[in-house]
Amino acid sequence: MRSLILIFVYLSKDISKRWLETPGAVLARVSIAVSLCLLFLLMQAGFILAEHAIQKKIESFGIDSLILQTSPPSSSSLRPEISVLFESLAEEGIYFPFSSLFSLAELSGGEKVRVIVYAENALPALSKMIPGFDQLEADAFLLTHGYPESSVDRVRLMDNFFDSTVVSPPTVLRFVTLNKPVLLISEKRIRSIGLGGSQESLFYVSQEPGKLEQIIDSMETVLQAEGFQRYTLTSPIQWVGELKELKQTRVKAQAFGGVFVGLLVILIFGSIAVFEYRQNIFATALFKSFGLSSLHLAVRYLMESLLLLGVAFYCAIELAKFIHESVFVLAGFDAGIVTLEFFNPYAISNQPVLLAILGVAGFVAVLPVFLGLCKPVGKSLG
């Protein structure tokens, strides 16, 4: 046991002595390893943040909802309106047909808002989504937060002025309102002021989980059969497929990036290790002739390699934390997602792939030195 302790102390002193003699080689290995680890960490964090953004989007809009938008039929078109075409869906969920005016309304404070027009067949859905809607006598509603509930706001639409009752927007309608103020107005009022040019739309929430995908396929079949050429059918359920593809891409990117990082670490660390071994080959042979095992000398090179990689890994983690928010905000991510308080992609527990890559690369990098140490002393000197 005492001899092993002495050997460990000697090898530790030998490593520190080499570092003091060749600080440039140490700095080169650490800086290159830090750069490679930092690139790998940022790449991995970018994929994880993109997955969180899609997941947040799915949760925000509700996975069992969809929205269908199409241009209004021309005067010569015989196709039916989508509000009538899919009216049977009202029996299986929240069925809210509406139209979007191309003109914007102006609130009393000067803010411009979108205008949504609802018809008689949308009243049942509005009664489900907005508590007490049946008791409201108005036909124009301002769906927004920040205004007193049930207060009246003067609204201007083109050259027409009218009062709108403030209603808190229902959570289920966030796919329609996009979390922005919206003016909800009846079709009768729109016709009375002579406005038109609206975009047909349909919002639907399925009450049976897992059935929406089948409904979307059926709707697309009906739309194509009825001659609808320009329409947009969007649902958060479609983003689930994108999320799966993104996760598969992340795994491929980790594999490719891991090979790239591993090869460069092997090349740089291996070259310097072989150079140092050849530079000190006579001293190594002398120690072996004194009875020092080749295994002990091999462990010395492996310990040095893993120690430098560990330092580089820690520095890369801290540097990634420091520049994380600024890098990904510039990349266009939502500021609420990129904060490390929301999710820390640089926790040690989240880095098994990178740690495995560095461990394997550090071992492979010193294999040529291991092979050299296995040679007899006389052959090594020769």
Confidence of residue 317 (pLDDT cuts 50, 70, 90): very high
- 22-31's contacts with Cβ under 8 Å and 24+ in sequence apart are 22/276, 25/272, 25/276, 26/308, 28/268, 28/272, 29/268, 29/269, 29/272, 29/308, 29/312, 30/308, 30/311, 30/312, 30/315, 31/312
DSSP codes joined into one string, 61-118: H-TTEEEEEEPPPPTT--PPPHHHHTGGGGGSEEEEEEEEESSPEE-TTS-EEEEEEE
On whether the pTM is more than 0.95, the answer is no
CA nearest 114: which of 184, 55, 60? 184
Residues 322-341, mean pLDDT to the nearest whole number = 86
Give residue-wise pLDDT tens across range 165-194.
888 888 888 888 888 899 999 888 888 887
CA distance 100 to 115: 6
Summarised one tens digit per residue, pLDDT across range 141-156 is: 888 887 787 788 888 8
Q: In the structure, what pLDDT confidence band is assigned to residue 292 with cuts at 50, 70 and 90?
A: low
* Structure confidence by residue, pLDDT tens digits, 88-111: 888 888 999 998 888 888 888 888
Q: What is the pLDDT of residue 272?
A: 83
